[in-house]
Amino acid sequence: MADLRKVSSSKSLAVLECKLIGSNGQVIDLKNPLIFNTIQIYESIYSPVVTGTIQLIEGVNLYSLLSMHGNEYLYISFCRPGEENKDSRYTRTFRIYKSDHRSRHQTSQSQTYVLHFCSNELVLSSGQVISRTLEGLSAAEHVYNILTQDLLANKKRVKNFEKSQGIFNYTFTQYKPFEAIERLSKYSYNENNSPFLFFENRDGYNFISLEKLVKQDPVTTLNASTANFALDPNEAPFVTSNDIKKFEFEQGFNVLEGVKNNAFSGRLFTLDLIRQKYERNDYSALNFQLLPSMLDGYPPFNDAKNREGKSLFQDYDGVPDYFLTNLNQNETSYFVSKGYKVINTNIERIHMHRKMLLGLLNNTRVMCQISGNPNLSVGYVVAFNMPAYMPNKSDTATDPYNSGKYLIAHVRHSITPDDIETVMLMNKNSVLTPFDAASNESRDYTVARDF
């Protein structure tokens, strides 16, 4: 991984190359002369591909020069000054798939418009369907094969794959390749029942468990100060690259959302049509199997009880779920006599664990704006020093609960010819310091609760 602090210039961006490649063989340099105005690159752990936009202001009618119609490609290579070596560059080729907002630029003899781009595999996926049975391999192996054989993805960008549990058999009928991958992800887990996520970041395609993601060491530490500091534009970026220009808690906590998403507890009713059995399964966020997927190790709640005498992690009836199951069908006398073998869907093991862990991951969300850093990408873990905001405390005092490790869930790199700004949405599913135990019998608390 690139050294995030190895910068030696006062500039904040080096656009090494930026070109449009037309299907007619024409190649247009957007840097010399300068044609592009703004480039936005978007990444998300909930999106299979990287997407973005580029705004052009030009007076040479690239539409005609390139015979532009949606079969063009954008090649871009950029970095922070001093990081021109290949490991640190953000270098990608994207497929242009849409153009809009085309109009005359002010009063000049030029026009402006926006081109939308994405990873080429997304366009290929939209034009294909998978209608076949996948069997005999793990879900991770099936996903790898779909990427490299159906979508013909560069194998160098399909490398961060973790082995998933079990042999996965599934029959797909008229599924788009990325729809099939999404389906496979939903039924994938590791030995601790941690769910898998599929996404693309600057490193390539990832098929990885939440547990493995959160166990990464932070790639950097981001500092938020209570002081009103101003970044010196003449100062080398490495001096301020870890200082946060602006941050905002998009959400500190949300009990109603957590209950709705089964983040704290849940109840799953399963029906087996063969054995004619109807069963109830209760799940709690205090389950020891959830702890390996926590960023900082302590749950984001305490044992406070409601009027019914239940804590958040005991309120199983919030939003019950229902699923068909084939658990233990191999033990039925009929299947045994016929020699039938049923592959267990493991719905009891994976469905609610996935909902709870992804629900908890959205419990705390921080929007963070920093000096541009293309080395930061979704799926990375960063350390965040949250100010304490307490009297008689120095600017270096940190909040004991909201500081700690965060997973980068969304990233937007905004690039202009001379500058870059990075905005991240960082998610946290736990706290660095355990919350105080609830005083469930204290007079003030019981009166307030029962009022």
The predicted pLDDT at position 11 comes to 59
By C-alpha distance, which of 264, 269, 262, 259 is closest to 348?
A: 269
- What does DSSP say about strands 36-44 and 27-29: parallel, antiparallel, or unpaired? unpaired
3-state secondary structure of 63: helix
Give backbone dihedrals phi and psi of 336, rounded to 5 degrees, phi first. -65, -45
By C-alpha distance, which of 311, 321, 317 is closest to 353?
A: 321
How far apart (Å, rounded) are the C-alpha atoms in residues 234 and 246? Answer: 20
Distance, first Cα to last Cα, the chain: 55
Q: Are 401 and 435 in contact (CB under 8 A)?
A: yes
Domains detected in the chain: 14-120 (2.40.10.10), 125-211 (3.55.50), 256-360 (no CATH)
How far apart (Å, rounded) are the C-alpha atoms in residues 118 and 51? Answer: 4
DSSP 312: G
Token pair belonging to 348: 């009891």
How far apart (Å, rounded) are the C-alpha atoms in residues 92 and 77? Answer: 7
Rg (Cα) of the chain, in Å, rounded?
Answer: 25
How far apart (Å, rounded) are the C-alpha atoms in residues 118 and 92? Answer: 10
Q: Are 140 and 164 in contact (CB under 8 A)?
A: yes
Cα distances (Å, whole numbers) of residue 123 to 120, 126, 127, 132: 6, 5, 7, 21
Q: Are 391 and 226 in contact (CB under 8 A)?
A: no
Q: Are 18 and 79 in contact (CB under 8 A)?
A: no
- Is the pTM here over 0.85, yes or no? yes
Q: Are 153 and 205 in contact (CB under 8 A)?
A: yes
How far apart (Å, rounded) are the C-alpha atoms in residues 178 and 122? Answer: 8
Q: Are 359 and 321 in contact (CB under 8 A)?
A: no
234-272 pLDDT tens trace: 444 444 456 788 999 999 999 999 999 999 999 999 999
Token pair belonging to 291: 């702890």
- Which portions of the chain are predicted below pLDDT 50? 1-10, 226-240
3-state secondary structure of 54: strand
Q: Are 241 and 421 in contact (CB under 8 A)?
A: no
Give backbone dihedrals phi and psi of 292, rounded to 5 degrees, phi first. -60, -20
How far apart (Å, rounded) are the C-alpha atoms in residues 268 and 279? Answer: 8
Omega before 33 within 30 of 0, i.e. cis: yes
281-303 pLDDT tens trace: 999 998 878 889 999 989 999 99
Token pair belonging to 435: 């919350």
